[in-house]
Amino acid sequence: MAASYLERANSWLTNDFDEQTRGQVKYLIENNLKELEDSFYKSLEFGTGGLRGIMGVGTNRINRYTIGMATQGLVNYIIKTFGGDIQHSVAIAYDCRNNSSYFAGITADVFAANGFTVYKFESLRPTPELSFAIRHYGCVAGVMVTASHNPKEYNGYKAYWNDGAQVTSPHDNNIIKEVLKIDQPSKVKFEDGTGVIKNIGVETDDEYLNAILSLTLLTKEMNSQSSLKIVYSPIHGTGVKLIPEALKRIGFKNIINVPEQDVTDGNFPTVKYPNPEEREALQMAIDKAILTGADIVLATDPDGDRLGVAVKNSAGEIEILNGNQTASLLTYYLLARSKELGIIGAGANNGHYMVKTIVTTDLLKSISESYGVEMMNVLTGFKYIAEVVRNLEGKRKFIGGGEESYGFNAGEFVRDKDAVISCCLLAEAAVWAKMKGMTLTDLLKEIYLKHGFYKEHLISITKKGKDGIEQIQSMMKAFRSSPPQHLAGSTVVLVHDYLNSETIDMVSDLRYKINLPKSDVLQFVSVDNTIVSVRPSGTEPKIKFYFGVKGSLISVSEFEKTEAELNHKIEILSDQMISYQTTGKQ
């Protein structure tokens, strides 16, 4: 292994690389072999979120050369797939991160040098608009330069296909094969060629916003009269470009910003991590909501595809919602309001459906089925939701779908999670609830009364570097060879092994085939329907544990008691899994 990474590092000392890069590599060789190994021991690969990593020199880092070589590999695969006798087009967007504009420029140059027409946004834009632009301009592919909600040291590269969705099998693996063939910068066309770069911007914004307006389920007058107060923060990212404008076009007037976080800055100066899943990232917006008496807080991650939410409850306190709760509210609102309008239900088209991921709360399935709408289950990663939409396009109607990691989408014109659409729909849901004399937390309790009290929790354990990846692989192997026998005292009856594509009935020892693509995910289900899912992250050096428990909510007055019981069970599960992953003992 040592010879392998040193050989790779030495290959970056040739004149194929610029002087600054050669100097940085030489410094690592002479002063920091550990960092050198992490930088060169492998090449970055496409995971569930594409290409993502720490910026710096090396094959395992995001830089001019890894971006250029990935783009050339993507170019070669597109030409191999669609032919090279016509001029293909692609769309490119980028977020607020340091070097995102620079990397987007390199990506555009490589495509143009290879004869492509490039529709490149003239300034930062959210990921969902990139997905929209691909279909709007009839492109064969697209690239979003972003590292989503990762720390400031990261950047990344999401590759999209002609349906506006992130690449799935077999394209993802085939692109990797083409990228691996580009093993030196001399194989990349960085400049010259017959292609052209066309800047796009406000015209595309208008088309995208008009599409969002077509999804509204409340009248503009209803929203205008609601007096709903909304605090919105883009957390220094792309959402500032479109979300306030989208809310205004729907009819919301009381939109309160967080000036310090409206500033576009890849260093994310007001937060530790620009992740709307974390309370710390929402705190400034929550403080603003308390100060102004706002009803709801909406915050989006740097590339505008994930949504964090906090709402005022009936006691006037601000509560943070997790991704499962937000997805549950959006699912309930879309279906209940669609039934009110006659879009679904008696006499309506029965071809409607929704989609969720396997680690997302089963509450969504219960809600959906109660309205006679099928809820499909797919692997973790929004690209698998988009894959279902693509396969059923023109045959059935996609209402919406979501995942626990704060991503949701509605309608078919964007094929990725969309925080712009989600912000608008959640604000509508708040108005709808307010018209019934309820807050969104009241609405959640109503859902729990009808469908059961579902409670979820996520633990992510970070294992950095090469050693960390090996530890995660070892942990997954241990869980697979010796699964837990019980979950918080409840006997495990099913083990879903998505890597081996089989479900194991622990009682009868029978095996059943899982008809989904292979993925390194394990799911343990106990007799009382407690669920624990374990998977390595596809975009970060983490192993993730998803806990799901369920209880019965007899009345709203029993909410706190029932929640405490479920939280206690989750604590037991958490201690059990952490102990198991560190000691190997149940």
- Tens-place pLDDT, residues 263-277: 999 999 999 999 999
> Hey, what amino acid is at 452?
G
CATH code at 106? Answer: 3.40.120.10
Same domain, 395 and 407: yes
Same domain, 77 and 92: yes
The per-residue pLDDT for 348 is: 58
| pTM to 2 decimal places | 0.92
Same domain, 569 and 463: yes
Per the CB < 8 A criterion, the answer to whether 321 and 367 are in contact is no
Tell me which DSSP letter residue 393 carries.
Answer: T
Same domain, 148 and 223: no
Same domain, 309 and 332: yes
- Residues 6 or more apart whose CB falls under 8 angstroms from that of 434 comprise 226, 228, 295
Per the CB < 8 A criterion, the answer to whether 128 and 418 are in contact is yes
Q: How many domains does the chain have?
A: 4
Start-to-end CA distance of the chain, whole Å, equals 34
Separation of alpha carbons 72 and 258, rounded Å: 40
* Burial class for 574, CB neighbours closer than 10 Å (0-12, 13-18, 19+): middle
What parts of the chain have a pLDDT lower than 50?
1-2
Per the CB < 8 A criterion, the answer to whether 49 and 85 are in contact is no
Same domain, 315 and 425: yes
Separation of alpha carbons 257 and 241, rounded Å: 13
- Per-residue pLDDT tens for 479-502? 999 999 999 999 999 999 999 999
Spatial CA neighbour of 307 closest among 126, 50, 523 = 126
Residue 533 appears among annotated catalytic residues: no
Tell me which DSSP letter residue 235 carries.
Answer: T
Same domain, 51 and 117: yes
User: Which domain does 402 fall in, by range?
Assistant: 208-451
- Choosing from 39, 89, 148, 533, the catalytic residue is 148
At which of 181, 200, 219 does a domain end?
200
